[in-house]
Amino acid sequence: MVFGLLWIPATILASLLQTARNLAQRSLTDVIGVVGATQVRFLFGLPFALLFLALACLGLQRLPPEIGMASLGFTLWGALTQIAATALMLAAMRERSFAVTTAYTKTEPVQVALFGAALLGDALTPLKFLAIAIATAGVIVVSWKPGEKLTRAGLRPAVLGIVSGAFFALSAIGFRGGIQALPEGSFLIRASTILVLGLGLQTLLLVAYMLVADRQALILSLKSWRRSLSAGFLGAAASQFWFIGFSLTTAANVRTLALVEVPLAQIASRKLFAEGTSRREILGMAMIVGGVGLLLSLSLR
């Protein structure tokens, strides 16, 4: 029972670390571009993921489990969709505020719930779906401004953010599937193993692409190694806790609780970028908290 509830603090820690990582990546986007800032979390995160796995194996005195074709396939799926999701999110952040873009990407929980039920057989009761829907509706309230004209310029970042959320949903399902497909190991070792595999695949794919298509951005990311290393560590640490959550409960539960990142992004926006918070946004955040609270109450029964 204790380990069964560990997904709750793990998800909250992941959300805190991801908010910090997004801020670090946003600051790098103007320097090395969207693709360059996207690869930073993978290339500079991989050494930390290897360290996390080594510590887990030493602490538990166990070797990593053997990776079969099913686990590799799911993880590759998660790796590719996460690359697309991160690139789309950073592109949206160049056109809208940090907080609003984060809200757009957090339309993913309903999609995660449906994908998880259809592809992985994750349980989805009517009350849990209601909780997810309330929290997601809160995201829409936060992001939609009354009277705002839906121009082509305004539509672009919205579409980028929402599609980014869809790809994040698919990546969550892929990584949870990869963890579930491992034949053995504790939840910590299985989560750490898939994290290393996922970051390894992402690093290989993006570095190969950048060597051919955008070598200058890769060089700039290496020159900005201090900031890149910070983003890499935050990304790897956030992913470690996400994967711990995926190893213990459904991706829908994890991603719905992760909506606490929206209020966190609002706080960061206000403190760091002087972006205010309206009454409508406060109402939306209250809906998010209410939906998350309902989900937690159902999960604790």
Model confidence over 9-31: pLDDT tens digits? 999 999 889 878 877 877 777 77
Which residue is listed with tokens 């873009």?
101
d(CA 14, CA 25) in angstroms, rounded, equals 16
Residues of the chain with pLDDT > 90, as a percent, come to 30
Beta carbons within 8 Å of 287's beta carbon, 6+ residues apart: 134, 135, 137, 138, 141
pLDDT of residue 2: 54
Note the pLDDT of residue 58: 95
Is this prediction's pTM over 0.85?
no
179 within 8 A of 190, measured Cβ to Cβ: yes
* Residue at 30: amino acid letter: D
Report the pLDDT value the prediction gives residue 23, as an integer from 0 to 100: 78
Which DSSP letter does residue 65 get? P
Q: Which of 96-110, 215-229, 249-263 has the lowest mean pLDDT?
A: 96-110
Structural domain range at position 106: 3-299
pLDDT score for 201: 95
Tens of pLDDT along 245-275? 999 988 888 888 887 776 666 666 666 555 5
Q: Is the pLDDT of residue 189 over 90?
A: yes
- When divided into structural domains, the chain yields a total of 1
pLDDT of residue 154: 61
Rounded to the nearest angstrom, the gap between the alpha carbon of residue 160 and the centroid of all alpha carbons in its chain is: 15
CB atoms within 10 A of CB 12: 17
Reported confidence tier of residue 301, pLDDT bands at 50, 70, 90: low
The C-alpha atoms of residue 301 and residue 298 are separated, in whole angstroms, by 6
> Which range in 82-96, 107-121, 237-251 is most confidently predicted, on average pLDDT?
237-251
Q: Is the dihedral of CA 119, 112, 132, 234 positive or negative?
A: positive
Based on the number of CB atoms within 10 Å of its own CB, is 271 exposed (0-12), middle (13-18) or buried (19 or more)?
A: exposed
Distance CA 240, CA 196 (A): 9
Nearest Cα residue to 85 out of 277, 279, 255:
255
φ and ψ at 94, to 5 degrees?
A: -75, -15
| pLDDT interval class at 1 (50, 70, 90) | very low
Local confidence band at 214 (pLDDT 50, 70, 90 cut-offs): confident
CA–CA dist 11, 239 (Å, integer):
10
Check residue 117 and give its pLDDT.
78
> What pLDDT is stored for residue 72 in this prediction?
96
235 pLDDT more than 60: yes
- Give 260's DSSP letter: G
DSSP at 272: H
- Distance, in Å, from the CA atom of 125 to the CA atom of 296, rounded to the nearest integer, reads 13
Number of neighbours of residue 297 by Cβ within 10 angstroms = 11
Count of positions (residues) in the chain? 301
Q: What is the 3-state secondary structure (H, E, C) of 134-192?
A: HHHHHHHHHHCCCCCCCCHHHHHHHHHHHHHHHHHHHHHHHHHHHHHHCCCCCHHHHHH
d(CA 120, CA 101): 29
Residue environment code for 253-268, b if the CB has 16+ CB neighbours within 10 A, otherwise e? bbbbbbbbbbbbbbeb
Rounded mean pLDDT of 120-132?
A: 80
